[in-house]
Chain A
């Protein structure tokens, strides 16, 4: 007799929604999300392993946050030059000072 072949497509998935009001996400907020993708810590893991993983996750947040801020600064330089070259030096200066 052939055993039953059962393919299960679970529906216990859950997405999260993050929103902001009158601003974008900060590099730190995005870094937190990034670290969650890189390292997930099981509640069933040994407490010592959980602590080690969370410490590593915290370090990842700091590191990714730093490079995100660098990317923002670099992009702002690009935007500054694009706006200045388009003949709007005052607006470009406002963006540079953000």
Chain B
């Protein structure tokens, strides 16, 4: 049981075609980022948020933090969207990865699995997830 890379959840792809998710800054869905220990086992088949193996500690509550959506845009023939960086302040936590999920949709359906590549720890400090450059080659969610 461990993280084994980044994954775009297969169920998310289907749900895109069913209009379950809305990434607009104004009026869009509520997306959360939850942190997990390396005991979590997520891959493309992950379908929803779970509290199992979610991290716990000062400065962190179940279901993690709400992400700030950035309006979807296009670059060439690629559509993309982004989130603002997320910080858990004054936090004492250790996490190996994360799950982004739609908190406002029924069942908290998953979007992407993020593998940090190793345990990351903050001690009475800030724990910040920095999203990649929002362009056609790097954005967190792209449709090419």
Q: How large is the interface on A (under 10, 10 to 19, 20 to 34, 35 or more residues)?
A: 20 to 34
Selected from A8, A14, A36, A37, the residue in CB contact (under 8 A) with B144 is A8
Q: Are A14 and B126 in contact (CB under 8 A)?
A: no
Q: Considering only CB atoms, which chain B residue lies closest to A20 in the complex? A: B125
Bound complex: CA A16 to CA B129 (Å): 6
Q: Are B133 and A37 in contact (CB under 8 A)?
A: yes
Q: Describe B's contact surface by its main secondary structure.
A: strand
Q: How many residues does chain B have at the interface if contact means C-beta atoms less than 8 Å apart?
A: 36
Q: Are B8 and A19 in contact (CB under 8 A)?
A: no
Q: Are A24 and B138 in contact (CB under 8 A)?
A: no
Most interface-central of B112, B125, B138 (chain A CB within 10 A) = B125
Hey, which bits of chain A sit against chain B, CB under 8 A? 7-25, 33, 36-37, 40
Sample (18) of A-B pairs whose CB atoms are under 8 Å apart? A7-B143, A8-B143, A9-B8, A11-B5, A13-B138, A13-B142, A15-B131, A16-B130, A16-B132, A17-B130, A18-B128, A19-B125, A19-B128, A20-B126, A21-B121, A21-B122, A22-B125, A40-B138
